[in-house]
């Protein structure tokens, strides 16, 4: 396995060292203001690292400085990994995008749809069509997240603990439970962020005959040399795992999950949430992003064909997300942004009001992590921190501008 190399000078990759240094100043401002515990970012172009850096404290109470091998919660940045895992089976002809998911997971065959609420009583009707695998990839299934809404359906999700939490039984158990809850809307009608990607993880189990964690370990993480990506933290890596903070009304950085032994990611993981359950490192995720930038291959190990990656990064909606959005939350702007198979796709940077390239694709996680691949510029960016929620600061928009302004040719 070859590590991704660092360019001798960013200028050899068409980037300005002086302008890239602005990323460090930007990161330091957030840390110095006590808004983020730490920040780390890496910018790679043409397959080489043009810039990487980090600043801040991994653990504020202990005063421990951030290191570049930190293991962090990537939450929804698990989703593109799950999409790749499913597309590997698509390439083998194991399913088609328009297949009803009920063919593989019978509990999701006959769904009901919430059409009105009277207090906590939900009025439902039969769905007017099946949920297809395409709907799962593109968040058009009607599945939601309970934690981000305050209507009766969201409360029902919360009451049933329908979030594919690490100790909520197995993927099979959670998926069966999901089949008992009504959908937010008829399949295909709207875009609503939710547990669709977790269902894709279950689909991978059904089609591969392997548990989802084994499948990812053998077919994605091992070939890509992603040595620190997993659902459950191995005990020998406890020292590299970091706390996660959240912003509250009274505190900029309140400890949310210490990450100490016995906490949620460190033991007894039984539910392998492809929507949000992975831990990873900046190095590992850069390898994943580079695989996508290179059209599906890294280090001679091919996961997907170039055409499949291009298909994944095509807009599969009829317009932008905003045109059909019914979400209370998401990891992306929705105006001028479309959605592919597990990733957002930039359609119109002017409409989005963000300096980016059409065709750029990526996603983020709720602890303020993000990545994107820019095929037009042959560029990858991975950004890490550990602050919930990701909507606290406009980090992604700002970093987009900072990266783009550093590109000179």
Question: What residue ranges bind another protein (CB under 8 A)?
Answer: 90-93, 96-98, 134, 297, 302, 304-308, 311, 314-316, 318, 340
Tokens of 87: 């597309």
| Smaller CB separation from another protein, 32 or 98 | 98
| Smaller CB separation from another protein, 18 or 92 | 92
Query: Smallest distance, Å, CB 205 to another protein?
Result: 20
| Smaller CB separation from another protein, 46 or 307 | 307
| C-alpha of 246 from chain center | 18
Query: Smallest distance, Å, CB 190 to another protein?
Result: 17
| Smaller CB separation from another protein, 297 or 331 | 297
Query: Smallest distance, Å, CB 315 to another protein?
Result: 6
Pairing of strands 301-302, 38-45: unpaired
| Smaller CB separation from another protein, 78 or 308 | 308
Pairing of strands 244-246, 387-388: parallel
CA–CA gap between residue 232 and residue 245 (Å, rounded): 19
Question: What is the SS3 assignment for 207-264?
Answer: HHCCCHHHHHHHHHHHHHCCCCCECCCCHHHHHHECCEEECCCCCCCEEEECCCCCCC
| Smaller CB separation from another protein, 21 or 97 | 97
Question: What is the SS3 assignment for 339-407?
Answer: ECCCCEEECCHHHHCCCCCCCCEEEEECCCEEEEEECCCCEEEEEECCEECCCCCCHHHHHHHHHHHCE
Classify residue 353 by burial, with Cβ atoms within 10 Å: 0-12, 13-18, 19+.
Answer: exposed
Tokens of 166: 């690490």
Query: Smallest distance, Å, CB 264 to another protein?
Result: 37
Query: Smallest distance, Å, CB 133 to another protein?
Result: 9
Query: Smallest distance, Å, CB 293 to another protein?
Result: 15
Query: Smallest distance, Å, CB 139 to another protein?
Result: 15
């Amino acid at each position: 396995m070859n590590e991704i190399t660092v360019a001798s000078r960013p200028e050899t990759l068409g980037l300005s060292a002086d302008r890239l240094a602005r990323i460090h100043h930007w990161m330091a401002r957030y840390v110095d203001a006590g808004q983020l515990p730490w920040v780390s970012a890496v910018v790679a172009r043409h397959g080489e690292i043009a810039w990487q850096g980090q600043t801040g404290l991994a653990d504020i109470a202990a005063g421990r400085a951030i290191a570049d091998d930190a293991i962090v919660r990537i939450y929804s940045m698990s989703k593109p990994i799950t999409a790749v895992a499913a597309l590997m089976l698509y390439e083998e002809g194991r399913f088609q995008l328009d297949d009803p998911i009920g063919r593989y997971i019978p509990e999701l065959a006959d769904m009901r749809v919430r059409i009105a609420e009277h207090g906590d009583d939900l009025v439902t009707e039969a769905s007017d069509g099946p949920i297809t695998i395409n709907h799962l990839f593109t968040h058009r299934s009607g599945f939601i997240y309970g934690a981000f809404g305050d209507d009766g359906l969201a409360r029902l999700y919360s009451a049933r603990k329908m979030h594919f939490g690490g100790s909520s039984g197995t993927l099979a158990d959670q998926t069966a439970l999901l089949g008992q809850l009504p959908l937010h809307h008829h399949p295909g009608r709207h875009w609503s962020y939710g547990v669709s990607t977790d269902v894709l993880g279950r689909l991978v189990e059904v089609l591969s005959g392997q548990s989802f964690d084994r499948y990812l370990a053998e077919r994605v993480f091992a070939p890509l040399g992603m040595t620190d990506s997993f659902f459950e933290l191995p005990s020998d890596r406890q020292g590299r795992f970091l706390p996660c903070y959240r912003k509250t009304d009274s505190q900029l950085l309140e400890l949310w999950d210490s990450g100490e032994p016995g906490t949620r990611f460190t033991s007894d993981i039984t539910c392998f949430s492809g929507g949000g359950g992975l831990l990873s490192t900046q190095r590992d995720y850069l390898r994943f992003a580079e695989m996508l930038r290179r059209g599906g291959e890294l280090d001679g190990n091919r996961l997907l064909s170039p055409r499949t990656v291009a298909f994944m990064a095509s807009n599969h909606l009829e317009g932008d997300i905003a045109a059909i959005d019914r979400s209370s939350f998401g990891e992306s702007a929705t105006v001028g942004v479309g959605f592919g198979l597990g990733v957002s796709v930039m359609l119109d940077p002017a409409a989005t009001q963000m300096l980016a390239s059409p065709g750029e694709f990526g996603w983020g996680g709720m602890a303020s992590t993000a990545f994107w691949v820019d095929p037009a510029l042959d560029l990858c960016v991975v950004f890490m921190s550990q602050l919930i929620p990701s909507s606290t600061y406009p980090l992604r928009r700002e970093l987009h501008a900072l990266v783009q302004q550093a590109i000179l040719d």
